[in-house]
């Protein structure tokens, strides 16, 4: 039986970061993950491979549609899907090896197997051959992440009807792809295959795409994606989806069935806690399957903590990472804090969409008086030089104090630009603070500055 100061179950962004941070505090750490390739869903079948495919497909699309207006003549463009998929796999494997190296560097003991509680302070690890070993530690962290949510009536077969995992590796390119769900996962992967030649139909239960994002930004995104060729069927309830011959069929309430080559089910994610043996320690989940924790991520069971997608909050890799650092700091009796008001979110479509803080919808619902400023990318010099001028930056500030309450971006490199917004809000910046900060020229970041200036009606270039 191996003994540790801390055992972490789950090697995703939250788990491996918590392990490294705890080791940095001098703790003896054991990390358990059932997959040999560490990094969790994010690295293996989520964030990283999807971004690799988004980048490759965008380059293919850009070159194929032509660069004549930039003085570049292109002909004979062909898709080598196998090479594109191989590049994605290579990136994933490289980062996986990097995580293993980091664990070794920090003297974290890695156990490749499935972990489950067998009693308080005691965990069993079962490897792929069925061999079991027991570990003990006074502190155990649950960081097992999440899995795709599935609607009733959906019959996954791993080929014609599948989740985001299968959608990362379609071969050949589907002629017609139906995406169930108009959120970020469905729209990102839908974008990949639409650029590579698929007709994409998005079925969304709500009356809008990108639920949870600022309504004004979501409406602008909808119009952009319609122009790109996406077919949207909003306010559509899916009754069932199943394989049908060499394709699939999706039945919807009050409408004709939709026949297609592939179906991507992207209706959200749910906490992954199956097989953890929570009953053995008397730990219960809430009605949504999440594990309740206090401000230091301690559960109701002494010595047991939880972070990431298994607890309340946005299911984002960077949120899990921050919690991984915080829970390790808390266990080492250091200052531990995550400011959930400034957790940025990014949708890596084209244009990208990024946000931090409150939406305009939330401010209205909470009856908070606010001022708004926005500035379009089309009036920005750098946007024009890179030929990417769609979208804008929107700044929301308190009407009395001018403190920034939210920043929302749709446009080029939004995922990078949102970092300035998050930093500014973390330090309690006002819109005037951003407006008076010198931004390099010509850069896309100047759009954020001008949007902040626009809060008081004093933008310069519009």
Q: Which residues are catalytic?
A: 441
Distances (CA, A) of 461 to 376, 417, 443: 10, 19, 14
R_g (Cα) of the chain, nearest Å = 23
CA-to-CA distance for 405 and 431, rounded, in angstroms?
A: 9
Report helix angle 446-454 to 414-426, nearest 10.
Answer: 50
Query: Counting beta carbons within 10 angstroms of the beta carbon of residue 419, is it exposed (0 to 12), middle (13 to 18) or buried (19 or more)?
Result: middle
- Tell how many helices (H) and how many strands (E) occur in the chain: 13, 24
CA-to-CA distance for 368 and 341, rounded, in angstroms?
A: 15
Residue in the block written with tokens 């639409």:
194
Handedness of CA 168, 125, 38, 322 (dihedral sign): positive
Helix or strand or coil: residue 99?
A: helix
Strand ranges inside 339-383, DSSP E: 345-347, 352-357, 370-376
User: Of the candidates 321, 231, 270, which has an alpha carbon nearest to the alpha carbon of residue 11?
Assistant: 321
CA-to-CA distance for 129 and 132, rounded, in angstroms?
A: 9
Helix or strand or coil: residue 206?
A: coil
Say if CB 406 and CB 363 are below 8 A apart.
Answer: yes
User: Of the candidates 128, 109, 121, 124, which has an alpha carbon nearest to the alpha carbon of residue 276?
Assistant: 124
Check whether the bond before 442 is cis (ω within 30° of 0): yes
Distances (CA, A) of 390 to 1, 54, 305: 59, 18, 44
């Amino acid at each position: 039986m191996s003994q540790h100061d801390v055992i972490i179950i789950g090697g995703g962004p939250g788990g491996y970061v918590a392990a490294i941070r705890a080791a940095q505090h001098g703790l003896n750490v054991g990390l358990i993950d059932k997959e040999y390739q560490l990094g969790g869903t994010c690295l293996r079948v989520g964030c990283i491979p999807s971004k690799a495919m988004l980048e490759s497909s965008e380059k293919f699309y850009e070159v194929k549609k032509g660069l004549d207006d930039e003085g570049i003549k292109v002909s004979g463009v062909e898709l080598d899907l196998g090479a594109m998929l191989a590049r994605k796999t290579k990136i994933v494997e490289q980062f996986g090896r990097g995580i293993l190296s980091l664990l070794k560097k920090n003297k974290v003991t890695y156990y490749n197997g499935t972990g489950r509680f067998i009693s308080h302070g005691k965990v069993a690890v079962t490897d792929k051959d069925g061999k079991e070993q027991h570990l003990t530690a006074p502190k155990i962290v649950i960081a097992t992440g999440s899995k795709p949510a599935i609607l009733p009536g959906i019959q996954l077969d791993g080929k014609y009807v599948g989740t985001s995992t299968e959608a990362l590796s379609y071969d050949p390119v589907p002629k017609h792809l139906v995406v169930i769900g108009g959120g970020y996962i469905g729209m990102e992967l839908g974008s990949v295959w639409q650029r590579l030649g698929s007709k994409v139909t998005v079925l969304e239960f709500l009356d809008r795409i990108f639920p949870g994002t600022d309504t004004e930004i979501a409406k602008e995104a909808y119009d952009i994606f319609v122009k790109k060729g996406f077919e949207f069927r909003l306010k559509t309830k899916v009754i069932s989806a199943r394989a049908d011959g060499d394709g699939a069929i999706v039945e919807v309430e009050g409408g004709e069935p939709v026949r297609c080559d592939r179906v991507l089910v992207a209706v959200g994610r749910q906490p992954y806690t199956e097989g953890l043996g929570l009953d053995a320690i008397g730990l219960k989940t809430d009605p949504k399957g999440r594990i309740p924790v206090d401000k230091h991520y301690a559960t109701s069971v002494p010595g047991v903590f939880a972070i990431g997608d298994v607890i309340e909050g946005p299911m984002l890799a960077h949120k899990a990472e921050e919690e991984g650092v915080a829970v390790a700091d808390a266990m080492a009796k250091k200052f531990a804090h995550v400011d959930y008001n400034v957790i940025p979110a990014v949708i890596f479509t084209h244009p990208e969409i990024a946000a931090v803080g409150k939406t305009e919808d939330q401010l209205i619902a909470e009856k908070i008086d606010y001022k708004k400023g926005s500035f379009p990318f089309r009036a920005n010099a750098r946007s024009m030089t890179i030929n990417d001028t769609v979208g804008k930056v929107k700044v929301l500030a308190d009407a009395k104090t001018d403190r920034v309450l939210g920043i929302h971006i749709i446009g080029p490199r939004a995922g990078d630009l949102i970092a300035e917004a998050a930093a500014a809000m973390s330090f309690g910046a006002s819109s005037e603070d951003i407006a008076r900060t010198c931004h390099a020229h010509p850069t896309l970041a100047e759009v954020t500055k001008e949007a902040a200036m626009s809060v008081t009606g004093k933008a310069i270039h519009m």
